[in-house]
DNA sequence: ATATTTGCAAATTATTTGCAAGAAC
DNA sequence: GTTCTTGCAAATAATTTGCAAATAT
């Protein structure tokens, strides 16, 4: 954690941005909530615990800056709100998401599912892929198991690829 | 085109919604701009040509209704605006998009690229997929060819899958 | 020292809603 | 005739901006 903050600090400095306490607090919140998908407002409320004097506009500006530097990704799951998601360090690609239409949970998928698909797209559409967004909408395992009382689908064994 | 309007009409009626002139004009605009990715405002301006008395709120309400009926899909490419995209009739899945980060063009991909990926996700994450969103960000073929003066990548033949 | 960054409040943008009038069936 | 739908204007929500004061390097 310390290390990542240090590296982000250097990243900022390398572009001659300053690491102000407000920015540091914002980054810390993101690091501590890596699994979540916080809106700007969410981040603001959490940052206020560490730095009560911070303004919402500063959080917006910081998040935009971090997005510019590719430290976070700005994603949108269809409600009108942008959410901010820390890029995993060293990850070759932006991870994917599973959005449950029943309970609203958002789970992350780290697997590199798109390698082959991207090759096809680059070739067939002559498109140089720089980034991607892949989100599945459906029913998460938690909600599925709640339904289990209804009827059971026997084809649910696990296979390997 | 006539047919599709008729079918959409029936679809509305089947849920006891009426096909008002405003709704019809809105659907017509969407049919005539199937390749585009119009915002609510865009649709509003185009519908006004056909039905000048229409209000923006009605367009919003109609688009939301059409999205509910799965006639259109609401998508968001990262700017703060929702865009509305007609579902191809009979398409088993929602098509994908290529967004050019240079010129802003949005191209559509009809190919079913995610069949295998979805099987993996459903199995490994025990997630029942109902819908998906896949967008690639990068450089489109038009912008790529503008750069061609710089240097040329010889691996650009076209293959079939 | 000085260019960057902040906080606040006001502005902007996208979207939604209340409600009385209008239209479809 | 009654229920659904509309248009307008006002409300809300998310985000951005102007600017003087504060601060990191």
Question: Which is more confidently placed, B150 or A131?
Answer: A131
Q: What share of chain B is helix, strand, coil (3-state, %, to 5)?
A: 40, 20, 40
Q: What are phi and psi of B82, to 5 degrees?
A: -80, 140
Tokens found for residue B51:
């039905």
- Which of A80, A127, A139 is most worth mutating to test chain B (most B CB atoms within 10 A of its CB)? A127
Compute the average pLDDT of residues A140-153.
77
Is the minimum CB–CB distance between A137 and chain B shorter than 8 Å?
Answer: yes
Share of chain B above pLDDT 70, in %: 91
- Residues A85, A72: contact at Cβ < 8 Å? yes
Q: What are phi and psi of A58, to 5 degrees?
A: -65, -40
Tokens found for residue B85:
């995209």
* pLDDT 10s digits, A85-120: 999 887 778 899 999 988 889 999 989 999 999 999
- Say yes or no to pLDDT of A50 above 80: yes
Distance CA B128, CA B152 (A): 44
Mapping DSSP onto H, E and C, the string for B93-152 reads CCCEEEEECCCCCEEEECCCCCHHHHHHHHHHHCCEEEEEEEEEEEECHHHHHHHCCCCC
Torsion of CA B79, A94, B87, A117, to 10 degrees: 140
pLDDT band at A156 (very low <50, low <70, confident <90, very high): very low
pTM of the predicted protein model? 0.85
| Interchain pair A127, B114: CB under 8 A | no
| Interchain pair B138, A131: CB under 8 A | yes
Compute the average pLDDT of residues A37-64.
95
- Say yes or no to pLDDT of B103 above 80: yes
Torsion of CA B89, B90, B94, B100, to 10 degrees: -50
Provide the mean pLDDT of chain A. 88
User: What pLDDT was estimated at residue A148?
Assistant: 72
**Residue numbers in A near B118 (CB within 8 A):** 136
Which residues are CB-contacts of A15 (< 8 A; sequence separation ≥ 6)?
Answer: A69
- Say yes or no to pLDDT of B129 above 50: yes
Compute the average pLDDT of residues A135-161.
68
| Interchain pair B139, A123: CB under 8 A | no
Distance CA A48, CA A30 (A): 13
Q: Are strands A128-139 and A96-100 parallel, antiparallel or unpaired?
A: parallel
* pLDDT 10s digits, B48-68: 999 999 999 999 999 999 999
Q: Which residue is nearest to nucleotide D17 (CA to C1')?
A: A57
pLDDT band at A152 (very low <50, low <70, confident <90, very high): very low
């Amino acid at each position: 954690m310390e290390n990542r903050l240090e590296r982000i600090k250097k990243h900022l400095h390398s572009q001659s941005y300053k690491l102000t306490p407000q920015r540091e607090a914002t980054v810390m919140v993101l690091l501590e909530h890596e699994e979540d998908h916080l809106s700007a407002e969410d981040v603001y409320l959490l940052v206020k615990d560490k730095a009560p004097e911070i303004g919402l506009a500063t959080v917006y500006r910081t998040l935009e800056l971090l997005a510019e530097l590719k430290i976070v990704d700005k994603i949108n799951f269809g409600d009108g709100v942008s959410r901010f998601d820390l890029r995993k360090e060293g990850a070759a690609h932006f991870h994917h998401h599973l959005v449950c239409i029943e309970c609203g949970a958002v789970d992350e998928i780290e697997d590199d599912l798109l390698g082959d698909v991207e090759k096809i797209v680059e070739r067939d559409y002559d498109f140089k892929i720089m980034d991607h967004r892949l989100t599945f909408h459906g029913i998460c395992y938690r909600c599925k198991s709640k339904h289990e009382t209804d009827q059971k689908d026997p084809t649910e064994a696990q296979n390997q690829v």
